[in-house]
Amino acid sequence: MTIARVTQDQSSGVLGPRDALPLVKTNEIIDQVNANTDKLDTITSPFLLKGEINLPADFPIPALVQNGWLYEVKTAVTDNDPTRTNTGQTFEAQDEVAWDGAAWIVMGHANPPPTKIAYIDNSRVDAYVADGSIERPFKTIQAAIAAIAAAAPDYYVTVDIAAGVYRENIVLENAGLKYLKLQGHGYVSINPAAGNALQSTANNANLYALHLSDLIFAKPVVLTGGAGDTSFSDTLWTNVRFTAGSSLTASCINNITMVNVYSEVPFAYTNVSWSYLESGQLQGTFSFVMDSTQPVPAGGKDGTILANGIFQSGTVSYTVGGTASYTVAVNGCRWGSGAVAVPAGLSIIAYNSALRGTITNNGAVTLRGATMQGYVAGIGSLTLSQPASQVGNDSAVPGTSAKDALDLLQGILSVKKRMVCVDGNRADIYVADGSESRPYKTIAAAIAVAVNTDLIKIAAMPGGYTEDIVLPSGVSIEGYGSNNTIIKGDVTTGAAPISLRGLQFNGIAKTLNLNGPASISDCFSYNQVIVGNATIQAWNFHITTTGVTALVLNHANARYQSVLSTISATGDVPTILGTNGAAILDLCKILGSRAADPVVNSAAGYLQLLNTMVVNAGGGAAMSADNGAGAGAPNMMHGVFTVGVTAFGTAVTIIDNITGGAVTGAAIVYNPGTFVAAGAVGAVWAVSKPATRTDAIDRLAAALSTHLGVPI
């Protein structure tokens, strides 16, 4: 019996549209089957899984064993017990062996290295050897974790958890765990009989990323990083619930981002360098501790909490120790209750928020469009700001109030675009028209009919889309998540504004060329990103490359503005190379490993970093920004942490809080109160006040008018 290899036209239907394998992998499997044809032909009875083998005595008795009996070998063993089959054969751990009537045949090896998705389903009660595939999912989360740790992949792996109640303790304490996402589907509750629902308190220095999504924790979650470690630098939790019986304890952590998180229980942060909270309801107590005398992660001892749209009804407490500091900024929040002590070293900045409870202020409190329920003046400072333009509308946009003007602009932004659909999984025959029911099967086919302002919606497809694409001017593309919709070719954009969302760019020696204004959100790129004559606005856009520079700015008009993003490169190459243009980064991480040269090399244009980490893990410089920046467009550094020295040369540079490596430059101006690792403090810089809401509305209207061609 010989199975024919698969041609290109057949490959999408081998396992069905959903589970189709890439052509190369499919033919590898077929070749392996053909190589074992003689072995399979000797097994004349149906396979019957009989159990596990750990010792020679676990092999069956000769009088009982039957053709087709199947066993899983759990430890390396030799069949040499004279009372058993006694074939003298030796097997490795995880071998699957079947009896052919005279000897054992090795059918395969269980638990192969996981792919980028490992499936879990504890409702499966049938007998099979789990490998994390859809057909043979693991039955426990911890079994999947063990398989991933054993493979130690250097890419993000999603643990896809089917609906159910999982009564197990999830322990993430293995050096093989690096980039992990636990994704629930439906009602997924982690509720062990005792102990922690999720724990990582040791052996986690390599666990850089921990994403949690659509999960319920009914028992405690405990995370503890190591002093100086970069672990837990990409910790993103969305749609996570902490119910009665659980709690969150996070210590020595670089970053925790929580979006739409609900909690009924206490939260406790100790030396969490940075945390962003959005659109959540937190009913339990929340304690914040920042203490330089306790273990501190690589992110440093100066903590930052940013909260947006959080309803925090429990008591909030703050502790600042040693030389540490804490900044808590809340926007649109209901924050705290009871007696709240603001210690020295803590700054609370509240925008359009209600600070509940009675605040005793020995630190610094700033209110802008915000209120306090009660206030006791200590030795701290209180700043109030309530400009009239927060309410009235004196902008050029029509409307009595600022809200009226913003509503008008929102309506302009909400103009519906035509959607053109692509689904490379479809193997049936039909006349494609780009509708959801009759999508095009390639991106190129959709591009051929797309026009300015159209949106191409691309379905997820195993193996991704191996196409080089050139987007027509003004045509946007959107996928179904950066782990699901993958483009494996060069991507080039046109001159008119577009958006890229929910995509992964991942081709060998491929590039993402941005030649016009673009909004990029929720994307990953393993391709090099090149910004030409364009202004780019990115949110949650992560660029990771190997052997080539991750981000290149090579045009005088290039502007790359990014928030909540990571830019990293491995190898002795710059992570960011600015031969021209400007990079403006807020709440970002820039990572590289160079022995001597800088990971950020800004040779022209200017560089502006806010609340951003720049880490050279190879011992070289962090940044070189001798880029000729002038008074009209200076380099700016605010809340920047570096590993490695930074040199500004003769470029005009404004610094407000930069810590870590040494700083040098001949034209640096420091704001009052700035802390730097090295360099003399220069003259006081006259910093202008923040723009009013009027300024913001007028500028937004001008941008819409310019880029969308809509007169306002």
pLDDT band at residue 68 under the 50/70/90 scheme: confident
Instruction: Please indicate, yes or no, whether residues 221 and 83 belong to a single structural domain of this protein.
Output: no
Q: Bridge partners of 198?
A: 170, 221
pLDDT value of position 401: 63
Residue 268 within any structural domain of the chain: yes
Residue 585 tokens read as 């980064």
How many CB atoms are located within 10 Å of the residue 528 CB? 22
More confident site: 386 or 547 = 547
Instruction: Please indicate, yes or no, whether residues 468 and 505 belong to a single structural domain of this protein.
Output: yes
Query: What does DSSP assign to residue 45?
Result: S
Instruction: Identify the domain boundary among 509, 526, 543.
Output: 526
**For 121-266, where are the E strands, in sequence order?**
157-161, 164-166, 170-171, 179-184, 188-190, 198-200, 209-217, 221-224, 234-242, 248-259, 262-263
Q: Are 591 and 566 contacting, i.e. CB atoms less than 8 angstroms apart?
A: yes
Q: Which residues contact 311 (CB under 8 A, 6 or more apart)?
A: 280, 281, 282, 333, 334
State the average pLDDT over residues 6-35.
43
Instruction: Identify the domain boundary among 492, 526, 560.
Output: 526
Instruction: Please indicate, yes or no, whether residues 593 and 488 belong to a single structural domain of this protein.
Output: no
Distance CA 181, CA 158 (A): 5
pLDDT in tens, 555-581: 999 999 999 999 999 999 999 999 899
pLDDT in tens, 581-625: 999 999 999 999 999 999 999 999 899 998 899 999 999 999 999
Q: Which residues contact 688 (CB under 8 A, 6 or more apart)?
A: none
Instruction: Please indicate, yes or no, whether residues 186 and 296 belong to a single structural domain of this protein.
Output: yes
Instruction: Please indicate, yes or no, whether residues 171 and 74 belong to a single structural domain of this protein.
Output: no
pLDDT band at residue 468 under the 50/70/90 scheme: very high
Distance CA 26, CA 461 (A): 15
Q: Are 646 and 625 contacting, i.e. CB atoms less than 8 angstroms apart?
A: yes
State the average pLDDT over residues 106-134.
81
Distance CA 575, CA 602 (A): 11
Residue 22 tokens read as 């890439």
Residue 584 within any structural domain of the chain: yes
Tokens 């206490």 — which residue?
266
Residue 76 within any structural domain of the chain: yes
pLDDT band at residue 48 under the 50/70/90 scheme: confident
pLDDT band at residue 367 under the 50/70/90 scheme: confident
Q: Which residues contact 341 (CB under 8 A, 6 or more apart)?
A: 317, 318, 359, 360, 362
Instruction: Please indicate, yes or no, whether residues 243 and 233 belong to a single structural domain of this protein.
Output: yes
Instruction: Please indicate, yes or no, whether residues 519 and 588 belong to a single structural domain of this protein.
Output: no
Please choose, from the candidates 542, 486, 536, the residue with its C-alpha nearest in 3D space to the C-alpha of residue 514.
536
Instruction: Please indicate, yes or no, whether residues 573 and 562 belong to a single structural domain of this protein.
Output: yes
Q: Residue 226 is which amino acid?
A: G
pLDDT in tens, 276-298: 999 989 999 999 999 999 999 99
pLDDT value of position 394: 67
Instruction: Identify the domain boundary among 87, 109, 131.
Output: 109
**For 625-698, where are the E strands, in sequence order?**
635-643, 646-647, 653-659, 663-664, 668-670
How deeply is 444 buried, as exposed, middle or buried, from its count of CB atoms within 10 A (0-12, 13-18, 19+)? Answer: middle
Please choose, from the candidates 531, 571, 591, 582, the residue with its C-alpha nearest in 3D space to the C-alpha of residue 255.
591
Q: Tell me what the pLDDT averaged over the chain comes to.
A: 85
Judged by DSSP in three states, 394 sits in coil
DSSP string for 260-292: S-EESS-EEEEEEEEEEEEEEEE-S-EEEEEET
Q: Are 653 and 669 contacting, i.e. CB atoms less than 8 angstroms apart?
A: yes
Residue 17 within any structural domain of the chain: no
Separation in Å, CA 516 to CA 420, 475, 501, 612, 620: 21, 11, 16, 26, 34
Residue 323 within any structural domain of the chain: yes
Helix, strand, coil shares of the chain, percent, nearest 5, are: 10, 40, 50
pLDDT band at residue 369 under the 50/70/90 scheme: confident
Separation in Å, CA 376 to CA 365, 522, 539: 12, 43, 39
Instruction: Please indicate, yes or no, whether residues 359 and 310 belong to a single structural domain of this protein.
Output: yes
Residue 693 within any structural domain of the chain: no
Distance CA 604, CA 601 (A): 9
Instruction: Please indicate, yes or no, whether residues 432 and 491 belong to a single structural domain of this protein.
Output: yes
pLDDT value of position 406: 73
- What is the pTM assigned to this prediction? 0.45
Mutual angle of helices 693-708 and 402-413, in 10-degree steps: 20
Phi, psi of 458 (to 5 degrees): -110, 120
Instruction: Please indicate, yes or no, whether residues 246 and 328 belong to a single structural domain of this protein.
Output: yes
pLDDT in tens, 394-446: 677 777 666 677 777 766 655 555 889 999 999 999 999 999 999 999 999 99
Residue 456 within any structural domain of the chain: yes
State the average pLDDT over residues 136-141.
95
pLDDT value of position 93: 82
Distance CA 682, CA 670 (A): 6
Residue 4 within any structural domain of the chain: no
pLDDT value of position 608: 92
Is residue 324 predicted with pLDDT exceeding 50? yes
Total number of domains constituting the chain: 4
pLDDT in tens, 502-534: 999 999 999 999 999 999 999 999 999 999 999
State the average pLDDT over residues 227-255.
95
pLDDT band at residue 695 under the 50/70/90 scheme: low
State the average pLDDT over residues 28-35.
54
How many CB atoms are located within 10 Å of the residue 57 CB? 10
Domain containing 302 equals 163-386
Q: Are 533 and 554 contacting, i.e. CB atoms less than 8 angstroms apart?
A: no
Please choose, from the candidates 459, 445, 502, 496, the residue with its C-alpha nearest in 3D space to the C-alpha of residue 478.
502
Instruction: Please indicate, yes or no, whether residues 447 and 336 belong to a single structural domain of this protein.
Output: no
State the average pLDDT over residues 26-36.
53
pLDDT value of position 700: 64
Phi, psi of 321 (to 5 degrees): -125, 160
